[in-house]
Chains A and B, each alone.
Chain A
Amino acid sequence: MVSTRQNVILLTVDTLRKDALGCYGNKGELAPFVDSLEDKCIKFTKAQSIGPYTQASFPGILTSSYYLEYGREKKLSSKRTLISEVLKKAGITTAGFHSNPYLSDFFGWNRGWDIFYDSMDIDVTPEVPYVKGDGINKKVGEWLSLYTKGKEYRPFFLWLHYMDVHEPYVPERKYIDMVDASVSISQDEMFNLFKSVVLKRDVSDKGTVRLLKKLYDAHVREVDDYIKEFFRILEKLNLLKDSVIIVSSDHGDEFNEHGGLSHDGKMHSELIDVPLLIYDYGRAKGEVCHTLVSNIDLSPTIVHLFGLELVKDFEGHSLFPLGDYPKKGCFGEAIDKVGQKEKDTDKPVYFYRENDLKIIYRESENIWEMYNLKEDRKEVNNIIDTSSMADDMKEKVRPRIRKMG
């Protein structure tokens, strides 16, 4: 799967849970278009994010390095190498389009892009505090049609990121209807739920949490339409057959699986499991890969797809060729915070997964947890005191804890 003359597109969806997609077992038909791609994709069933929220995850995706590698940085460290910098140096055109403030110009993510659109200059409303997928598509479409008209065609790397699944969960009526037409709630009521329930992480009422999940599902249904529209743009410009498209998310979202809402500093599967589909028109035929992989591997994979040499700063491994991918565990780290404001006194939290075993260490309370994901998919049965593997697993995380300490 080396494609030196091809384009590579990385399409990420903020906050998209793996289990929201039908191709990962969801029965709600929330993403019919993404599901329909399955036949032309390599589907990774055990993709992990290196962190449970954007700042903890995206260093993995775009710089193949761990979140706390350079300390508690507010802005992206200049020591990190962005995939855009690597590719631009190699003569590949790089373009990024998104609407996530944590990935904006201000936070230092604009390095190495020929085109970088972070939308921060657009007025947004409290109910929809980002540029929606159709707005991102419009920008991307304009750029692509101009670019493909150019005389000398050079391969490009395009990254686009949709925010539409992220809270506040205030979806349009038509998407709520597609998920559950019996839900009757006004925009103001949805926004009030965001303020009084989501922001306060109040899970006391199970019915409200269920309702929030439905609104989240409606957002997923909506973003599926934008992904579909984006593929139409590629088709129209005749780019589908010349592009490898990687579809993933930065992290999931919690609906009281472990006593919380949204995406705080926790390492459970509802936040850490991410979808990962690699679409390669005409080549991949509905392959499924059960290898444990991480989003820290995405940048090395992109480098490989462009036929470029390994980047020594990158900590991940290329997913291709699949046979050469090393058998390894997956690691992640974040700051153990509840509620969204991260304080300097908050301590790190780490996870490490190997095969079906996952260990989590929360420094603030010096607590270890371990789960056997084969028998306990929901991670409710802590086996740290009973498993004979506990000490081995602890040893795998300790070097990292010492390094950070």
Chain B
Amino acid sequence: MSQEVEKRCGELVGKSKEVVRETFEKFKPSEMAVTWTGGKDSTTNLWIVRQVCLEDNIDLPPVITIDEGDAFTEITDFLIRISKKWNVDLEWLCNFDVLKCCQSHLGSTVKVKDLNERNQAELKRIGFEEASFTFEAESYAGNHLMKTVVLNKFIEENNIKTLFMALRRDEQTARKSDEYFTKKEGGYLTPEHTRVSPILHFTERDIWDNIKLHNIPYCPLYEIGYRSLGARSTSNPGVVGVPAWEQDIEHIPERAGRRQDKEKAMDRLRKLGYM
């Protein structure tokens, strides 16, 4: 690895550590949590937060991961393996009520009336008024219940004020001006909290350079061609058989293999009354 790359990684990580330290100064460590999906970004993010904690002798805040009911076994294995290695007490979050209603089967139907009160209220809040929905990752109702609701519930129940997340500015043009600290306003069923993105300034290339430089572990799915990992049924490899870091990162969009763009547009259309 060239000295230039090493120097750049040093600067990038240095900046991230500054953000993490600023967070520890501004907010109470007992009211923090780190999100971890097992993907390359959130693993890098956790690695940095953990480095700061080791260097400054601070207890690592709780680390959480959300099980959407459609995870790659490779990711689950990775999370278990690395949490042991890093001595992380990983908390697994899941909306079991939804899983119960569909017997954990992707593609089966969830009847809204079978859901618990909170889940029903959540669907009402987002304007979902159908009697049932198909359980699948990234679907409108499913996505909300399995991800957003689980996270909000965790924040609320544990009185969390600050969340470390692994957003990257280059990931989508829409994110170009995001700040390191974004305050999420509270409201009905949505607890107020601040989201911190220490690796905001990393590009996809930087992530891989830094992973290689520091021997940070990564999920083996990246070796066989995946560039971005979400739910199993909605993620596809970029170029099959070519490791992520050897692909044309600079020219082909990272999330081309994911169905989220469609779901985001559909979600908006639904809210505007077009569905």
Contact = CB atoms under 8 A, between A and B. Distances in A.
A250 B129 CA distance: 29
B271 A120 contact: no
B125 A126 contact: yes
Contacts of B275: 340-341
Interface in A164-221: 166-168, 194-195, 198-199
B73 interface: no
B129 A195 contact: yes
A231 interface: no
Main secondary structure of the interface of B (DSSP, over half): helix
Contact of B174 (A122, A126, A129): A122
A120 B172 CA distance: 10
Interface in B114-166: 125-127, 129
A256 interface: no
Contacts of A194: 273
Contact of A117 (B174, B262, B266, B269): B174
A325 interface: no
A106 B261 contact: yes
B268 A130 contact: yes
B271 A126 contact: yes
A198 B127 CA distance: 14
A198 B272 CA distance: 11
Given A126-B127, A341-B275, A106 B177 contact: no
Most buried by A among B172, B271, B273: B273
B173 interface: yes
B175 interface: yes
B109 to A, nearest CB: 20
Chain B, interface residues (CB within 8 Å), range: 20 to 34
Interface string A88-120: 000000000000011011110000000111111
Given A119-B174, A139-B177, A340 B274 contact: yes
A105 B264 CA distance: 11
Contacts of B266: 101
A55 to B, nearest CB: 10
Given A101-B265, A120-B174, A340-B274, 14 more contacts: A101-B266, A104-B261, A106-B261, A107-B265, A115-B173, A120-B268, A121-B172, A126-B125, A126-B126, A129-B271, A142-B177, A167-B272, A341-B274, A341-B275
Interface of B: 125-127, 129, 172-175, 177, 261-262, 264-266, 268-269, 271-275
18 contacts: A101-B265, A101-B269, A105-B265, A115-B173, A117-B173, A118-B174, A119-B174, A120-B264, A121-B172, A121-B175, A124-B268, A124-B271, A126-B126, A130-B272, A142-B177, A166-B272, A168-B271, A195-B127
